[in-house]
Amino acid sequence: MLHRRTFLLAGAGIAMSGPLRLLAQPRFQKNPFTLGIASGYPQPDGVVLWTRLAPDALNGGGMPNAAVEVTWEIAADDGFGSVLRKGVERAAPDLAHSVHAEIRGLEPARWYHYRFHAGGATSVTGRFRTAPAAAAANDRLRFALASCQQYEQGYFAAYRHMAREDLDLVIHVGDYIYESSWGRTRVRSHGTPECVTLAEYRNRYALYKSDADLQAAHAAFPWLVTWDDHEVSNDYANERSQKLDPPALYLRRRAAAYQAYYEHMPLPAWARPRGPNARLYTQASFGQLAQICMLDDRQYRSHQVCPPSGRGGSTVVTAGECPQRLSPELTLLGAEQERWLHGALDTSAARWNIIAQQTLMAQRIRLKDNEDAFWTDGWDGYPKARERLLGHIAQRKLSNPLVLGGDVHAGIVADLKVNFDDAKSPVIASEFVGTSITSQGPGAKFSEAARQNNPHMKFHNGVQKGYTAFEVTPERCAVRMRTVSDVTDAQATIRDLAGFVVEHGKAGAQWA
Ligand SMILES: [Fe+2]
């Protein structure tokens, strides 16, 4: 039904029958661009531009059950003095009045400005840079890595600082929202209980995306994204929830969660969910300098081994109490994605090969009853799958592999090896796990023990929160762990907590 509270029709006599009617000329009384704008998936000739019309964002959006035309504009300057391209998309109720405009025909390696118009309202202005041409001998790629932004546990000041950096790209590796409340200190509230339905997930995204600092980081750069577990629910694996819901029921929840994710991200149409399935894994090329593979390690994974009785999800097990952990049948990516990834790496001609995935890839031994123990939700729960991937990278002598991760709420720098238990096993790749934007992580004692028990870990810090900034050039990749002064302070400042460098041709990070 038409919400007269938020809408006036410009003309009389517009047909109102049927759910798919088009309101070509609505007049908004309230700003419909409350969730900001975003760009994503830059290519040499194009990009995806995103927005969602939601004048009453936290309560379902406040839009009528009708499609509305949204105009996008791309200009060379942020004053829009010369509009280079212009087009119209339909924001329809079945996708919560979101817009995913796929633009082609742009020039490579160029900054553009964009904005949207709808019903007499104009959005803020954003900008994006297209990727360099495939054959370009480009000499620099700068990007930030982010993950894990529990809204209640802190402010998104990190994003305000990120937006001021000089970046080509942002890579987000999951836990963009949290479906539920947890943690020790809370500075603000979800205001609603755990999300289960599509309406609830939509409102949760709206709450997170109403944050001005997050909006600024989206407006400033194009993003590549993947999800982790909290976009659906804690520790889920494929069709199995931690609470062991009937799989058919859980897949309905997953379908709702995946749809809400798609509706709120600058994803291309090929990522649109079909029921409970949505392909997110893909690769993006940045000239001859870098290839980025974005992985999905939630949707296709084997169930975590040795769960606590009556439950699914993760636990911490010793080698002795869970020999199943070593089964080669276990997969974190699923056979199809694993094959695809091997192919994408085999055919890459890039100088730097970046694998962006959700969690910690390096082995992280912890002690349980004085025995070596492993957390089963990350790659440590799927060690043979990790061995397959790192073995493949080693065998193909992949040029400068860098693995990016998140999930564990700690900044970690690690050498990746096919066999972590053999000190002589060569370093195959360098791993950087970004700390969380806000989510609470392990304390100093845990990090200290992690470094002691895992000599391949050069850095481990779960206390400081922020993001990680990368500058890739032909000769090296420079990495800065950027952390905020106080995650509970909306006005927090930022600093470099630590710096590392990976030299071309020499796997393993060194302190900078
Ligand atoms: Fe997280």
**Per-residue pLDDT at 356 exceeds 90:** yes
Predicted local confidence at residue 32, as pLDDT: 97
High-pLDDT (> 70) share of the chain, %: 95
C-alpha–C-alpha distance, residues 316 and 376, integer Å:
6
Predicted local confidence at residue 24, as pLDDT: 54
**Per-residue pLDDT at 416 exceeds 90:** yes
Other Cβ atoms within 10 Å of 397 Cβ, number: 8
Cα–ligand 1 centroid distance for 356 (angstroms): 15
- When comparing pLDDT for 6 and 510, which is higher? 510
Q: Are 505 and 476 contained in the same domain?
A: yes
C-alpha–C-alpha distance, residues 509 and 367, integer Å:
26
Residue 332 sits in a domain whose CATH number is: 3.60.21.70
Residue 83 sits in a domain whose CATH number is: 2.60.40.380
Contact call for residues 226 and 172 (beta carbons, < 8 A): yes
Q: Domain limits at 480?
A: 141-188+227-252+268-511
260 in any annotated domain: no
Please tell me what DSSP assigns to residue 166.
-
Cα–ligand 1 centroid distance for 101 (angstroms): 29
Predicted local confidence at residue 434, as pLDDT: 95
288 in any annotated domain: yes
In three-state secondary structure terms, 443 is coil
Contact call for residues 293 and 356 (beta carbons, < 8 A): yes
Cα–ligand 1 centroid distance for 412 (angstroms): 14
195 in any annotated domain: no
Q: Are 391 and 340 contained in the same domain?
A: yes
**Per-residue pLDDT at 128 exceeds 90:** yes
C-alpha–C-alpha distance, residues 230 and 443, integer Å:
22
Question: Partners of 22 in the beta sheet?
Answer: 67
Cα–ligand 1 centroid distance for 52 (angstroms): 25
401 in any annotated domain: yes
Lowest mean pLDDT among 5-9, 266-270, 424-428: 5-9
Q: Are 14 and 99 contained in the same domain?
A: yes
**Per-residue pLDDT at 332 exceeds 90:** yes
Cα–ligand 1 centroid distance for 230 (angstroms): 7
398 in any annotated domain: yes
Predicted local confidence at residue 26, as pLDDT: 80
Cα–ligand 1 centroid distance for 150 (angstroms): 7
Cα–ligand 1 centroid distance for 377 (angstroms): 12
Predicted local confidence at residue 5, as pLDDT: 33
Q: Which residue has the tokens 């370009």?
A: 136
Q: Are 172 and 96 contained in the same domain?
A: no
Among candidate residues 333, 332, 303, 300, the one with its CA nearest the CA of residue 315: 303
263 in any annotated domain: no
The 10s digit of each residue's pLDDT in 293-310 is 999 999 999 999 999 999
Q: Are 344 and 382 contained in the same domain?
A: yes
Domains contained in the chain, number:
2
Q: Are 71 and 147 contained in the same domain?
A: no
Residues 6+ apart with CB under 8 A from 508: 415, 427, 430, 502
Cα–ligand 1 centroid distance for 176 (angstroms): 8
Predicted local confidence at residue 185, as pLDDT: 86
Beta strand extents in 168-309 (DSSP E only): 169-172, 222-225, 282-286, 290-294
Contact call for residues 140 and 472 (beta carbons, < 8 A): yes
Helix (H) or strand (E) holding 122: strand 121-122
Q: Are strands 427-433 and 98-103 parallel, antiparallel or unpaired?
A: unpaired
**Per-residue pLDDT at 401 exceeds 60:** yes
pLDDT band with cut points at 50, 70 and 90 for residue 25: low
**Per-residue pLDDT at 18 exceeds 50:** no
Phi and psi at 383, nearest 5°, equal -65, -30
Q: Which residue has the tokens 């419909």?
A: 32
